[in-house]
Structures are given as C-alpha cells and as structure tokens.
Structure 1
Amino acid sequence: MTQDGTRPVEIDTSKPHPARIYDYLLGGKDNYEVDRQAGDQLAAVAPEVWISVRANRGFLQRAVRHVIDSGVRQILDVGTGLPTSPNVHEIAQEAEADVRVAYVDNDPIVKAHADALLNRAGTTSIVLADLRDPKSVVEHPEVRRIIDFDQPVALFLVAILHFIRDAEEPERIVATLRDALPAGSFLVLSHATDDFAERSAAQAIYNNATASMNLRPRARVERFFEGFELVEPGLVQVPFWRPESTPPEGSAQIGFYGAVGVKKA
C-alpha cells in the first residue's frame, strides 16, 4: 500500500505516455524504452521538438515569477506532469516562501513521483483528478485545503490542453475553471500548434500513446483566454514570451504558443 492507502501503481510500459515522452525530451530519467522510441520518432519528423520542450519549460518558469511578482500567492497547476526540478513550487517559494501550490494530474504515476517529493501536510500538495472533469478539480477537498478561491489564484494549464480532444470540449473545461477564480486571478497556458510547420506525422505518433495530440491554430488557442485580459506580449511562441536572454537558434519554428492572462472584474 502507498502512504495514502491506495494500491501501488501498475505502470503500463506497452504504450508511450505523453508525460514520460516529455520527461525524456527534457533529459529526465522517469521514462521507458517505449517512451524513448516515441521521443526519437517525434524528433525525426519534428526536429525542433528538443528545443521546443525546453522553451516551454522556460516559459513556465518565467510565468511563475511573473504571477508571484504580481502579488499572487496561490498556484493551481493542472496537468503538472512528472516533476522536473526546478518545479513550480520551488520557483515560486524561492521568490516568496508563503506561496501555496496545488498540483493536479490524472495519472497515478505522476502522483506517486510527486508524493515522494512533497510534504502534503504543508503548503504544497498533489491531487489525483482529471482535467476533463473540471468541477472535480476545483471541488477536491485537498485542492480546497491549499487554495482559497476567494483570493486570486494563478491557474496553470501548461502543455496539457492539446491532449484534450475537441469532443471533450476544451473551451468548456477552461471556462469552468475560470468561473471558479476571483477577479485578479491569472491563467498561464501553453498549447502545441502546427501553424509553423506541417506536423501530421508528429501528431500521428501520439495515436499509439495513452493520449492523442490535438494541434490547434492561434485563433483557437486565443479562445481559451475568453474572460481574461492578456498581458504583454500577448499570445506568442513560448520562447518569445518575455525572454530573459536571446532565444535559441530555430525558435521561430517552435510549435508552442504561450500567454498569460488576468481575469477581468
């Protein structure tokens, strides 16, 4: 039994897993041969993927610092994926020690890894819930223990919505989460796109994975920010969102949009 009374996680290594593919592309160790093969296949048809995942990670880190500098002291990170240091709570709490962070993922493997790193009695916790059921996220008692929805919250949906199919109504999902947030809250979002290169071959690799890849154009990604006011520079490719140094060569081909929005009153 695990520390929370659940049975040990049985890991399916017969199919590549998006979180483990991402971990491999970031240079992590929490992946299996099937994930590495998928990552290499992805890189073969979309060579920019190596710098893309790192650029997306850099966007997340800069966005964390931005929301903390803006006065927010609560972060709800949904679809967090496998822990990669520095994690969101490490970045946030380095700036302000009192920041509270609730991580949410629907994968027991992710939760098991995060549980090993987090002190759930403190100001950071990991919750097993599914983004496709957004009410289960905002109403989860452990989320409610960490997050006070009467105060501004930074909602992070980083590299997760492209694993939600159109039939699962991603706009409805984001709207439900938005409606749970008070004015002055933030939405930090990144999303994969094929606006800069034809990527059907890359998309097809995920057909054999545990979740499909659903690339969307800029106009569609912008719709997720309904009810939010975008902060400068708006919705851009992730390496160009408030870069702290010169973006790496090849950044113009990176197929990730990113933006930060503030919920209107």
Structure 2
Amino acid sequence: MFWRDGSQVDHVSVTDRSFQYGDGCFTTILTKSGKMQLWDQHVKRMERALSQLKISPVDWHKLKSDIDKLASPKVLAGIKIHVSRGEGGRGYSPNVNRGPLITLSQFEFPASYIELRRSGLEMTLCDISLGLNPLLAGLKHNNRLEQILAKEHVERSGHIDGIVLDIEGNVIETTMANIFWFKDGVLHTPSLKMAGVEGVMRGEVLRIVAQDECPIVIDSFKLSTLKAADEIFVSNCILGVAPVTKIQDAQFPIGNMTRRIQEKLGQ
C-alpha cells in the first residue's frame, strides 16, 4: 500500500519528476513492532541527498508522525520513504509547480533474510560495472538503472546477490548491500567517493567496530584483495548483517567478528 499526504494512493501524476527523470531520493527503514529503527540516521542520510540534489527540505517531524500511524505492528516489517522533487518543470528545469512530494509504502519483512543472516550468501560477480560519478556517489537517488542491470544479471545467474565493481575494477558493493571483510584483524570496506550507495547500516557497522577499537581501512580495493579475506559480510538496513560464504569459486568461513557484530545489532 502507498500513501501520500496522509491518504492512500495507487497512482502518481505523469508530470511527477521522479517518474520523468528519477529526480528524487529514497530510503528503506526496518520497523520492529511498529517502531522505526535508526530513524535519526535515515533522516541524516536523506537530508544529505536532498541538499546535494537541491531539493527543498522535508518536514521530518510531520513525516515521522505519519509513519508512526502507518507502520506495521508485526515483529519485523519495513517502510520506504520516496521523495520526488515535485510535479512540473519544463525539461530538465528543476522549477516545480509543487513539491517535494513524499510517498510512503509499507512492505513485509523478507522471510528468507532470517536464514541468510544465519547461513550466509553465495555470491556471483556481476558483469555490470558502475560508472564514476563523484557528484552523486553515496546517494540513494531514484535513478537506479545500473543497479537494476546488475540485479538482472544476478537473477539470471541463479544467485541472490553479486559483487559489483566500478569501471576501474574496484570493489564497490553488492546488488543489495554494502560489503565488509576482515583480514588479519583489520576491517576493510570500499570507499564510496566515486560510486555506490552509502547505506545507513554501513554507518552502524563502522560505529560498532570503532567502539571495539578495531582498525578500519576505507579505500579502493581490487577483487583479489576481497577474495584473500579471512571473513566477509554484507549489510543493509532490512537484512542487517549477513555473512558471505562464497564468491565464485572462493569459499569463506562464517567468522567470529561477523557474529559479534550481528549480536551487537540485536540479530
């Protein structure tokens, strides 16, 4: 179900900028028994995207009130916040007739995610490479064509997820999550300054590991570095943290550090 301005809707205007140009941003939030998780972090991430895209600010207090009324009472569920710049504007001109426009949707928690958290994921390598775009890197904007093509390749290969590189051969993310690995007690994760999505759960993982005073390296890494890892895991706000047990022909154990992070996240 979808809501806009407190009312249930099943369509949007053909002049909506998100429909016309992917002009907006979104975030997906885990809810537990109707309570949003990591709300402040989602707001911060969305405010950065809105600022970067030059979209007018959102009334977060009102929006939270609306979401509290709509969130599922189930133990686990999800809410998606979709922001469009608005309606109207000739061609690429960002001058809109009204906006921003916010659409809320509620969705079920994927039952398979519980098992993925426990037993891990087997990954393929996507044949789609991400372009370099420092202006939009890190943002969860509404134009996700690269990710859609990467996901199409993953599903065609019979896998749930896959590793995505940029056009220079650097590991960036997976088709559904950010990626981390430990090597000799040091946490590694790719830099997202040129490509990729900076997930809210990524920030939580970095915060938890930093609290344990574990060394962290954020940099550019090739696939060979990832495959030499001691343990690998992925993160997003709905899945949480899940281990990676295989990438192509390389296998990996489910590590103690991954389990420790899951425990600290309440999984």
TM-score range, shorter chain: under 0.3
Of structures 1 and 2, the one scoring higher in RCO (CA 8 A, sep 6+) is 1
- TM superposition score normalised by structure 2: 0.25
Higher relative strand content: 2
